[in-house]
Amino acid sequence: MGHAAATCEERFEAYIDGIASVIGHADRVQPLHDYCVGLMMPAERKSVEPMAAMTAPERTSAQHQSLLHFVGQGQWSDEKVLAKVRGQVLPGIERNGAIRAWIVDDTGFPKQGRHSVGVARQYCGQLGKQDNCQVVVSLSLANDYASLPVAHRLYLPQDWIDDAARRAKVGVPEDVDFKTKPQIALDQIRWACETGLPRGVVLMDAGYGVDATLRMAVTDLGLTYVAGVLASTLAWKPGTRPEPGEGAPKKGRRGDTDIMSLKEIALSLKARAWSTVEWREGTCDALSSRFARVRVHVAHRHLTAERHAEEWLLIEWPSDEPEPTKYWLSTCPKGIAIDELVDLAKLRWRIERDYQDLKQEVGLGHYEGRGWRGLHHHITLSIAAYGFLISERETIPPSASRRPVLCAPPALPQGWRPRGSPAQA
């Protein structure tokens, strides 16, 4: 049966059957099916209890226990399910263009209590401030058509790592030790290289880009990057470079006039260095801002002339702002056009849309369990549901109005119930 000829329900059943092939015991297939249905059905809250009521209204209590056990205790592999999702979704994304980027980021889930795994007072992007939350680091593959998260892991603060009783209570595996968010991101990038995923430029915001060790490791893996950095980052003045064996001064600049902050470099550029560049986010109208770029050597005591080559410094300075607003370092080729460099830097918007749609459309942040396994299982299944919705984009006529990522109409018709439920018996 061809993709276009099948109905939405038939495509969904085939998609779930593909995932079911790696889920293990046959008794997990129905909860898998129903959980993904629940994530895609219209509801204000997509935790286990309301999903049970939506997917099996005539046996809600039994369904609640079934879904709760499947997501919270099920001995199935997140890695295998994510691999199957990639295998079914990436080909459709790549039919619309080669993968251009690997996007590193994290997202926070606000929490009221302190007992859910990994919860701590820390920065929460969803709230835009420090608050009680969980933070998950992820890696997504993206092109101009769509993006798909391919790896995720909860960040565990040091006090969680050190508290054996707390770890045991929520089932943190014994081999999980403390890693910073950039270290988790690097693990995911290394894994993606080892797995042979289609390569792209690594994109990261300043929360990750300021980590020189991460940037060096990305280069060592044979990947290029466009990394957000801070205005205070130091670099040799354009046109100068460290002598062989020389790094940055160990205690700040110490009066070295050849070392400047990126902000100082930006303010020193002549007016002709700046130009207006347009880029696009999905099918939106073109956006534009003012940019300049210059070749620099980053100044860091761990980076010597032999260790770290010249790279691009890209600066954004909107005409209505009193000073530059964003800075990126990039190892993209010297001959890259500025509009292409800007386009890559701005492609990071896709991860922001991913998280927005994962939370609003499929309930990514709605899991109410406390355990390590349950949280990761819920995220995996949210990505699986999201992947199906991405795949549905290809069924929409080109003339139809579509959102940049989740442009499909409701994937499941009103009143539709899972196969085998009393409503279809």
Quick one: pLDDT at residue 323?
Answer: 96
Residue 359 burial (C-beta neighbours within 10 Å; 0-12, 13-18, 19+): middle
Q: 145 and 398 in contact (C-beta within 8 Å)?
A: no
Query: Which long-range contacts does 95-99 make (Cβ < 8 Å, 24+ apart)?
Result: 95/394, 96/143, 96/144, 96/145, 96/146, 97/143, 97/144, 97/145, 98/143, 98/198, 99/141, 99/142, 99/143, 99/197, 99/198, 99/199, 99/200
Cα gap 61→52, rounded to integer Å:
8
pTM of the entire predicted model? 0.89
What are the pLDDT tens digits along the chain (425 aa)? 445 557 899 999 999 999 999 999 999 999 999 999 999 988 888 999 999 999 999 999 999 999 999 999 999 999 999 999 999 999 999 999 999 999 999 999 998 888 999 999 998 877 788 889 999 999 999 999 999 999 999 999 999 999 999 999 999 999 999 999 999 999 999 999 999 999 999 999 999 999 999 999 999 999 999 999 999 999 999 988 776 555 555 444 545 678 999 999 999 999 999 999 999 876 567 899 999 999 999 987 655 444 568 999 999 999 999 999 999 999 999 999 999 999 999 999 988 888 999 998 999 999 999 999 999 999 999 999 999 999 998 776 554 444 433 333 334 444 444 444 433 32
Quick one: pLDDT at residue 231?
Answer: 97
24: left (phi over 0), alpha (psi -120 to 50) or beta: left
Cα gap 62→369, rounded to integer Å:
18
Quick one: tokens of 17?
């059957």
β-partners of residue 417 are none
The ranges assigned to domains in the chain are 8-200+351-424, 206-347
Degrees to nearest 5, angle at CA 19 with 15 and 21: 120
